[in-house]
Amino acid sequence: MEKPIAILTSLRILKNNSFEGGGEKVEYNLVKHLLDKDNVFILPKLNSFLDGNNSYSSLSKISDKIIGFEYLEEDLDPVERLRKFVEKLKGNRTILLDINYGPSYRFYRMFKFSELLMEPSLKYGEVMYISYKADLRSSVLLQGIASHDYFFGVPLNVLRYLKNRLRGFPIDVFINHKNKIVYTLYKGFREKFIVRKLKNSPNVVRIYGMSPGQLNSLGVLNSGKGKVLYPAAAIEGELLSFREKRTDKDDYMVFFARLLPLKGTLELPFILSKVKEIVKEAKLFIVGKFPEDIRGKKNESFQDYFFNLVEEMGLSDHIVYKGYLTGNELYDVVSKAKCVVYPSHEDTFSLSILESITVGTPVVSYDIPGPKSVFNGLPAVKFVREYDIDAMSKEVANLFKAGWEDYRKIVYNDKVESFIRDHTGWRNVSERLYEDLMKV
């Protein structure tokens, strides 16, 4: 039998088949296809036991694939559960793969301070603890880490914001100064420190990334451990039907993503306002969920904060909030749009961009490292400088005003078609990952 591979993943995602963002969608599809291999197994992450519904009967059909399935529903504290996993794995030649690496604040809260003090490897997530204790080789796929570039540990999206704010940028995308400080510490210095640990750990043999820009930001692109997945994400063939059947477009742009401040949500009304100076009939459709744990300037919900801003700007009749859509409902809305506006300040790849160009809708995006290193050079994806809402508005307006033949040339051309072919089929992504894992 080939050497075993144990994938650290969240059972919640497998059980519910629901995703909060692109990272979880990547995680689900990779695990789903990798499990077809006889030598691939699941090692449940501790966040599998945080949702308050720890019934795993729906996963019983793959119980032979889940390490420690027999005690999944036991009431174990986190350290005890990890120790049981170590006992299961110690002494064999399993290679660990954390499919969506990045210890979160919720992860740290599961442990007592004394446990983190006595077990230093816990600070770097389950994969580091288990590989160290069981003396196993491990690998990680970085999805949310390094979603922007750094300057001496400070995320560049913070520094660029401060620079543009002084020049009159109209909105605080971080909402307040406290958030800027927390973000700098958590997404800046903390991430650089964690990745330095990965680079120096003798147990970690591979650091996978979603894009060249991401790994370059971390300084691991040309290291012996760093490797960019290509393709790193995919669409399935049925999505191409939306590309093939569309013969005209409606007069709206669309934004679909997690509706977070750093996805550019607060910039949307300002972009629309400037587009309407050129294209009066333009509208904006917004698709996604507003977060419940983020507050506005006056401690109102982020959703109320956003729509109060929309009302103040007199745009209530020009913005349509569609709520959270998935599948054909989502792709129908995106495929009818003149363009996707994507002012995101953090991304390592962007499934939204991939899905948009697949259904035949061009994208205007900020030039952050991850997406730019993947999609740059494709006529269907226009990049403008981060925080330059004037340039973004002009690019959007140009797409609204383009004649149908010129518009089709942007979306339907050899470069875009070739790119979509390369990124069709999640099995293709999982096979590339599997082949590399078997070599390390």
Check whether 118 has a pLDDT greater than 90.
no
Q: Give 107's pLDDT tier (boundaries 50, 70, 90).
A: confident
Check whether 375 has a pLDDT greater than 60.
yes
Distance (Å, rounded) from C-alpha 432 to C-alpha 427? 9
Q: Give 296's pLDDT tier (boundaries 50, 70, 90).
A: confident
Q: Which of 69-73, 255-259, 272-276, 400-404 has the lowest mean pLDDT?
A: 69-73
- Residues 290 and 143 grouped into a single domain: no
- Residues 98 and 226 grouped into a single domain: yes
Looking at every residue in the chain, the average pLDDT score rounds to: 93
Query: Which pLDDT score is estimated for 47?
Result: 85
Check whether 53 has a pLDDT greater than 60.
no
Query: Which pLDDT score is estimated for 52?
Result: 57
- Residues 253 and 276 grouped into a single domain: yes
Mean pLDDT of 257-275: 97
Q: What is the CATH number of the domain that holds 385?
A: 3.40.50.2000
- Residues 127 and 30 grouped into a single domain: yes
- Residues 174 and 316 grouped into a single domain: no
- Residues 219 and 275 grouped into a single domain: no
Query: Which pLDDT score is estimated for 59?
Result: 83
The percent of residues in the chain predicted with pLDDT above 90, rounded, is: 78
- Residues 218 and 266 grouped into a single domain: no
Q: Give 54's pLDDT tier (boundaries 50, 70, 90).
A: low
Residue ranges of E strands in 123-185: 137-142, 150-151, 154-155
- Residues 210 and 225 grouped into a single domain: yes
Check whether 16 has a pLDDT greater than 80.
no
- Residues 81 and 7 grouped into a single domain: yes
Distance (Å, rounded) from C-alpha 149 to C-alpha 409? 32
Check whether 26 has a pLDDT greater than 70.
yes
- Residues 167 and 204 grouped into a single domain: yes
Q: Give 12's pLDDT tier (boundaries 50, 70, 90).
A: confident
pLDDT digits (tens, 9 = 90+) for 182-218: 999 999 999 999 999 999 999 999 999 999 999 999 9
Domains: count for the chain: 2
Distance (Å, rounded) from C-alpha 126 to C-alpha 211? 24
Cβ neighbours for 48, distance < 8 A, ≥ 6 positions apart: 10, 11, 12, 54, 72
Question: Which domain, by its residues, includes 335?
Answer: 235-421
Q: Please, are residues 71 and 84 in contact by the beta-carbon 8 Å criterion?
A: yes
Query: Which pLDDT score is estimated for 245?
Result: 67
Q: Which of 235-239, 403-407, 432-436 has the highest mean pLDDT?
A: 432-436
- Nearest CA among 122, 390, 392, 158 for reference residue 253: 392
- Sign, CA torsion 208/209/213/218: negative
- Residues 276 and 412 grouped into a single domain: yes
- Residues 316 and 327 grouped into a single domain: yes
